[in-house]
């Protein structure tokens, strides 16, 4: 039976695909304050601005291509039972070929009803317009989890973390909960690998292999080492 590798990814894995991280840009997201564009209050105050912001981001995501890190994780599936838990709202893991992905914070290529988050739809192209409605007649909003909203997938993600033989953390500042707390569910004896040029450890986690590199070089290296382990066993 294949060993289980659980991978938690953040904005850093998509940086080399040209998508900016949040906290590397002075707390502004492409020049916007998150309170103006990524909260339920912002949506109530100014839905036009929120739609505009996500339409711009969707355009950037559709233009971006998976990089060597996304591709290496997809390759790892030949040797391991891999589940990716991503905080990212881009679809680069899907486009790289990974088959088991949990989007903790939603995905920007889908819309959701503004009254029932379980009603989701694919967005045709880059633009979600005001006036586009769900089957209940409510305005569609981006299918993303905003600050202050519940994270519906966290329970499923925590359960999967409990099954990890190897846990990888890639390109996340680990500042946003509940995602940052997932490592607490990983068994003590699982292998743990952290790949990030800036994050130098996780409080309370000791047996952590740290690769202080960008994802584009660090992830293929870590993946090659895991594949070598399977081949030699």
Query: Shortest Cβ distance from residue 171 to ligand APR (Å)?
Result: 3
Q: What does the per-residue mask of binding to ligand APR show for 125-164, with x meaning CB under 6 A?
A: ----------------------------------------
For ligand APR, which is the closer residue by CB, 51 or 134? 51
- Residues paired with residue 133 on neighbouring β-strands, in sequence order: 139
Q: Does 22 bind ligand APR (CB under 6 A)?
A: yes
Burial class of residue 119 (count of CB atoms within 10 Å of its CB; 0-12, 13-18, 19+): middle
Q: Which stretch binds ligand APR (CB under 6 A): 13-21, 156-164, 185-193, 200-208?
A: 13-21
Cβ-Cβ contacts under 8 Å for 144 (sequence gap 6 or more): 38, 54, 89, 105, 106, 107, 108
For ligand APR, which is the closer residue by CB, 12 or 140? 12
Binder of ligand APR out of 8, 16, 128, 134 (CB under 6 A): 16
Q: Does 50 bind ligand APR (CB under 6 A)?
A: no
Query: Shortest Cβ distance from residue 173 to ligand APR (Å)?
Result: 3
The counts of H helices and E strands in the chain are 8, 11
Cis bond leading into 178, ω under 30°?
yes
Distance, in Å, from the CA atom of 24 to the CA atom of 141, rounded to the nearest integer, reads 26
Is 17 assigned to a binding site?
yes
Q: Where do the H-state alpha helices sit in the chain?
A: 12-15, 34-37, 40-45, 47-63, 68-76, 92-96, 154-161, 215-232
Q: Pick the catalytic residue: 70, 93, 105, 143?
A: 105
Sole residue written with tokens 């846990």: 167
Query: Shortest Cβ distance from residue 206 to ligand APR (Å)?
Result: 20
Whether 70 is catalytic is no
Counting residues that bind ligand APR (by CB under 6 A) gives 22
The CA radius of gyration of the chain, in Å to the nearest whole number, is 18
Residues that bind ligand APR (CB under 6 A): 10-12, 15-16, 21-24, 87, 105, 171-173, 175-176, 196-199, 214-215
């Amino acid at each position: 039976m294949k060993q289980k590798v659980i991978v938690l990814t953040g904005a850093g894995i998509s940086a080399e695909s040209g998508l900016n991280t949040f906290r590397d840009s002075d707390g502004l997201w492409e020049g916007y304050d998150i309170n103006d564009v990524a909260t339920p209050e912002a949506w109530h105050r100014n839905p036009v601005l929120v739609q505009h912001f996500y339409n711009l981001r969707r355009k950037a995501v559709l233009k971006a291509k998976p990089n060597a890190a996304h591709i290496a994780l997809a390759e790892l599936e030949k040797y391991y039972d891999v589940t990716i838990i991503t905080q990212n709202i881009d679809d680069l893991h899907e486009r790289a070929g990974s088959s088991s992905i949990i989007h903790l914070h939603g995905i920007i290529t889908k819309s959701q009803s503004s009254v029932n988050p379980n009603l989701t739809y694919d967005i045709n192209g880059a633009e979600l317009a005001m006036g586009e409605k769900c089957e209940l007649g409510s305005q569609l909003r981006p299918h993303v989890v905003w600050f202050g909203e519940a994270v519906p997938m966290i329970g499923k993600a925590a359960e999967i973390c409990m099954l990890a033989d190897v846990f990888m953390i890639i390109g996340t500042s680990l500042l946003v909960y509940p995602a940052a707390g997932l490592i607490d569910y990983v068994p003590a004896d699982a292998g743990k690998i952290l790949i990030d040029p800036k994050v130098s450890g996780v409080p309370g986690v000791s047996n952590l292999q740290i690769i202080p590199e960008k994802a584009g070089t660090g992830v293929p290296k870590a993946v090659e080492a895991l594949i070598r382990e399977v081949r030699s066993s």
